[in-house]
Chain A
């Protein structure tokens, strides 16, 4: 596999595989589409499409109770849907590894994305998450490895913010 800048979702997938992730909960986002595709095609990973992101927080807790590692994929707007359920992770110290694709922060066309996008990081920090921001493709693997270690080694919440700059702007006219 080439390590070109456009391949960061594949690198992220390989990192999750090496990290022993067996369940992926997600609400689809365009920025995660390649990663979701890879997870869905993988026989060892159970992909669980969610109706709302907070379901994934509970899914990951159940997975850990049963000895499996889960990861949760969402767009920045989904962080707001998780807040109360993060009490589960915090009260019980469940590992929670989140990958959040950003909207509303860079070359955003849709102003409705800005209110939640602008508070993702402080909200996560208030919820005692370790927040890791990725700006460039060559940072993805190393950052994901650190987040994996924090989440599962220390049984804590780790949130990797995949910046809008990394993902690229959404194309609105086709």
Chain B
């Protein structure tokens, strides 16, 4: 039984704390994060496909005392798969890259993605040198991941196996300048 995406996101972001900064990838993971409760410390992407993990890297390096969670989809991660190599040699302790993997391009009509045909992002992450690579397939593993995000002190990658459903869209702010400014204001006076 695959996990339901909205519930999975809600579990990961419950009681998140002010020091958790979240970069949701474009499309469904952005709607999931918005549905879990809007937060100034979410930098939702409405584009930049393939860039979520690298935004997380720049942010994690700039804010080493805060925790950074990139939560994105399998299609978005596949487009920027080289970022795992780049991140794998930087290994910021405060960065987690979480991929909600449903094996399809959900926003464009549920076309199959590479992961449905055997491409294993966990193996890719491991091969790129990321020490903690988690395969999250059930509630217990999801709870474990949520706990690890709370006390993040080593770079981690997690693949969360979710069902290919399409819950109603919950659309966050889409003005990029507004999203940027509120995020920067939330984390400090002159971040």
Q: Are A63 and B61 in contact (CB under 8 A)?
A: yes
Any chain A CB within 8 A of the CB of B47?
yes
Alpha-carbon gap, A148 to B180, bound state (A): 20
Q: Total contacts A to B, CB within 8 angstroms?
A: 121
Point out the residues of chain A lying under 8 angstroms from B49, CB to CB.
Answer: 84
Closest-by-CB residue of B relative to A91 is B176
- Flag the segment in B7-15, B52-60, B103-111 that touches A: B52-60
Interface flag for A23 (CB, 8 Å): yes
Distance in angstroms from A14 CB to nearest chain B CB is 22
Is the Cβ of B180 less than 8 Å from the Cβ of A55?
Answer: no
> Which segment of A30-38, A64-72, A124-132, A166-174 sits at the interface?
A64-72
| One of A46-54, A104-112, A139-147 at the interface | A46-54
Main SS class of interface, B: helix
- Most chain B CB within a 10 A radius of its CB, from A58, A62, A85, A87: A62
B177 and A92 within 8 A (CB): yes
A92 to B184, Cβ gap below 8 A? no
Complex Cα gap A57–B45 (Å): 14
Can you list, as one digit per residue, whether each of A87-128 has a CB less than 8 Å from chain B (1) or not (0)?
A: 110011110000000000000000000000000000000000
Contact B57 A59 (CB under 8 A): yes
Interface residues of B in 60-108 (CB under 8 A from A): 60-63, 66, 80, 82-83, 85-86, 89-90
Do B48 and A87 touch (CB < 8 A)?
yes
Task: Assess A51 versus B85: contact at CB under 8 Å? Given A46-B61, A59-B57, A61-B55.
Answer: yes
Chain A residue numbers with a CB within 8 Å of B184 are 64-65, 67
A52 touches B61 (CB 8 A): no
Q: Do A62 and B58 have beta carbons less than 8 Å apart?
A: yes
Decide if B63 touches A85 in the complex (CB within 8 Å).
Answer: no
Whether B122 is near chain A, meaning CB under 8 Å from some CB there, is no
Whether B180 and A65, one on each chain, are in contact in the complex, defined by CB atoms closer than 8 angstroms, is yes
Cβ contacts under 8 Å, A85 to chain B: 48, 50-51
Given contact pairs A51-B82, A87-B48, A88-B51, A58 touches B58 in the complex (Cβ within 8 A): yes
12 A-B pairs whose Cβ atoms sit less than 8 Å apart in the complex? A50-B86, A58-B51, A61-B55, A65-B55, A65-B58, A66-B59, A66-B63, A85-B50, A88-B45, A88-B55, A92-B177, A93-B180
